Amino acid sequence: MQYFYVLPILIILFNIASCAKILGIWPTPGHSQFILGQALMAELARRGHEVSVISEFEPKEKIKNYETIKLPKTGGYEGFDLLNWPTYNLFSLQKSLLDGGLKYSGALFEKKIIQELIDSNRTFDLVIVENFSNEAHMAFAEHFKAPLIVFSSQPVSDWNYHFVGNVKLPSISPFFVSPFDKHMSFYERFRTLLLSVYDFIYKELIYYPGQQALVDKYFPNKMDLKKIVTNTEMMLLFSHPLTTGPSLTTSAIVEVGGFQIVSKKLPNDIQSVLDGAKNGAVLVSLGTNVECSSLSKEQFNMFLNAFKKFPQRFLWKCPVEIPNKPDNVYLFKWMPQTDILAHPNTIAFITHNGLLSTTEAIHYGVPMISIPVFCDQMPNAIRVQKNGIGERLSFLDLTENDLYEAIKKVTTNTSYKEKMQRVSKMFRDQPSKPLDRAMHTIEYVLKYKPGPLLRSPALSLWWFQLYMLDVLLFIFVSIVLLYLFISIILRKLMFSKKQNKRKTA
């Protein structure tokens, strides 16, 4: 009988041993990024790990093993108007984002709660950093002597490819701030190359020295930030070939796009509206940066006038009370977007094409009317239109007729639904669930700490070695030298022959 309790005790001891202390750093002021951070870190907590998350946001409900290291609100990026993003020069946009990243990286360290964390005796087994122009935050991993995993709410791009030695080809990798798809024209490839060169020079001369200065200032021990960055164990990307396009990735990159998608029961009022939508329903959401309150009166009326011409019901997240609102328009202060898209009566989605929204629409097979505003929303919308799963409109040039025609096409032409259903089936047909892949990757690093075993050899090469420029230069110089050598020999032979003729004459 004394052995009866041995197995349960061993199981308990094993679970305790396998649980880790994990620090998550989600410093960006965007709530959409935190949605992903919470989904990832909450699942780790549910699996028994002790997680501490640095963020401006915290879960609405208490989660066991989940601690929030709460930051005060900092607001969004300054220096440019997001709604006028397409009018800005791409070079100045990139500079503004990098400068903004430096600012917000430093702002984190200035918080008393962060300094207390740095000076504390706490230990962590793993550090996960959300990446967006904040390389200095990766130094927390070295400070706590823990492995580093980078999470990005974007696909592999200029912001992150170099962490794990990924090869970036400007010919098929549009620059992050550009409105280009991966199938670029000569002019677009030319601009992408110029942006890449500008980005590289600016980072090397200003941005990285600035991030290194933050590490030197706020951490007690001297650390080489570039070494820390290239010691990234693994990188989790919120991407998938069907949402962000195919890309070249190393074995240290794991794509987990859609891992946050979970269907829940709808609130009764929204459930009732959707159930009663005999002609279908259209979800309207332009993201957190373009709330209905940020639209001008003319723009707002333009939307309402277009909506009232249709038999469908339109559900719009809008906390503003509107007198004489069309009967088919339903305004809600808050809407569970994922659950509305999951409802069978939702037939279209008017969206800004943020990556979360795009991924959720594809997952549930809902065609889109795309109205991109800034950043990655532009190429996302281009892919939606090219793949025939939606229509794309311009936010700055939007008219009531354009909006009406786009909604009419998507809601009446069955080809949009048919193509979207096919893409949706392909997206959901995966060998494993994205969240399970993310958990496996994190626990794999905790268990093995693979280090150089999975590290790309590209990390040990200079950029000119990586792209074989030194070899091409060697070949070019060798050909030129061979040509000169042969020319000199031939000239000498010709000269010698002429001299012999003169002597015999």
**How does pLDDT run across 13-23, given as a tens digit for each residue?**
344 446 899 99
Higher-confidence residue: 103 or 500?
Answer: 103
Question: What phi and psi, each to the nearest 5 degrees, are found at residue 335?
Answer: -140, 135
For the segment 487-499, the average pLDDT, to the nearest whole number, is 79
* Token couple for 144: 């706590």
Report pLDDT for 501.
Answer: 67
Instruction: List, as one string, the DSSP characters of 416-470.
Output: HHHHHHHHHHHHH--SS-HHHHHHHHHHHHHHH--GGGG--GGGGS-HHHHTTHH
pTM: 0.87
Residue in 159, 228, 171, 152 with CA at minimum distance from that of residue 199: 159
Q: Which residue has the tokens 């949009």?
A: 416
Report pLDDT for 246.
Answer: 87
Report pLDDT for 9.
Answer: 44
Over residues 89-130, the pLDDT tens digits come to 888 888 888 998 898 899 899 999 999 999 999 999 999 999
Q: Residue type for 240, please?
A: H
Higher-confidence residue: 239 or 88?
Answer: 239
Per cent of the chain over pLDDT 70 is: 92
Report pLDDT for 426.
Answer: 96
* pLDDT of 77 over the 60 cut: no
Report pLDDT for 179.
Answer: 81
Band (pLDDT 50/70/90 cuts) for residue 83 is low
What is the number of H-type helices and E-type strands within the chain? 19, 13
Higher-confidence residue: 85 or 121?
Answer: 121
For the segment 200-204, the average pLDDT, to the nearest whole number, is 93
Maximum CA pair distance of the chain? 122
For the segment 453-465, the average pLDDT, to the nearest whole number, is 85
The residues, any chain, with a CB within 8 Å of residue 121's CB and separated by 6 or more, are none
CB atoms within 10 A of CB 501: 9
Band (pLDDT 50/70/90 cuts) for residue 31 is confident
* pLDDT of 263 over the 70 cut: yes
Over residues 147-192, the pLDDT tens digits come to 999 999 888 888 888 899 888 888 888 887 788 887 888 998 998 8
Report pLDDT for 12.
Answer: 43
For the segment 251-271, the average pLDDT, to the nearest whole number, is 91
Higher-confidence residue: 465 or 139?
Answer: 139
- Tell me how far CA of residue 234 lies from CA of 47, 104, 150, 438, in angstroms: 20, 24, 7, 10
Report pLDDT for 11.
Answer: 44
Higher-confidence residue: 481 or 318?
Answer: 481
* pLDDT of 239 over the 50 cut: yes
Answer yes or no: are the C-beta atoms of 390 and 410 closer than 8 Å: yes
Over residues 431-448, the pLDDT tens digits come to 999 999 999 999 999 999
* pLDDT of 496 over the 80 cut: no
Answer yes or no: are the C-beta atoms of 410 and 368 closer than 8 Å: yes
Average confidence score pLDDT of the chain: 88
Report pLDDT for 504.
Answer: 65
Q: Which residue has the tokens 């069309």?
A: 326
